[in-house]
């Protein structure tokens, strides 16, 4: 993506490996040194060779399987009916000196 002031970059491996590395560079202007801001880190090593036809699809399937194995699904939460008060959690301990007797 390019705007009047900046160019936005993403890693060339974003689609296949979902690499989160990003960069934003200032557009070159006469007399002004361009700035570069980096975000995220690469989740892969340097890739020097082009993939063979069909390799990207195989790699996507493999990565998806690995993610599913590592993913811990959060416990499903029950929805309250409309207008119901949310549950209140409290801890009661033995004698409480501030409570009336």
Confidence at 80, pLDDT banded by 50, 70, 90: low
Is residue 47 situated within a structural domain?
Answer: yes
pTM of the model: 0.48
Is residue 89 situated within a structural domain?
Answer: no
User: Domain limits at 14?
Assistant: 6-70
Q: What is the radius of gyration, based on Cα positions, of the chain?
A: 26
Is residue 96 situated within a structural domain?
Answer: no
pLDDT single digits (tens) 16-63: 888 899 999 887 777 778 788 899 989 888 888 888 888 888 888 888
Count of structural domains within the chain = 1
């Amino acid at each position: 993506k390019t705007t009047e002031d900046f160019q936005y970059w993403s890693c060339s491996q974003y689609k296949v490996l979902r690499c989160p590395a990003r960069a934003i560079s200032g557009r070159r202007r006469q007399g002004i040194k361009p700035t570069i801001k980096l975000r995220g880190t690469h989740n892969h090593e340097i890739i020097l060779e082009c993939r063979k036809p069909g390799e990207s699809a195989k790699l996507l399937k493999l990565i998806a399987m690995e993610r599913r194995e590592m993913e811990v699904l959060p416990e499903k939460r029950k929805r309250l009916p409309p207008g119901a008060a949310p549950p209140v959690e409290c801890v009661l301990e033995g004698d409480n000196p501030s409570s009336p007797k």
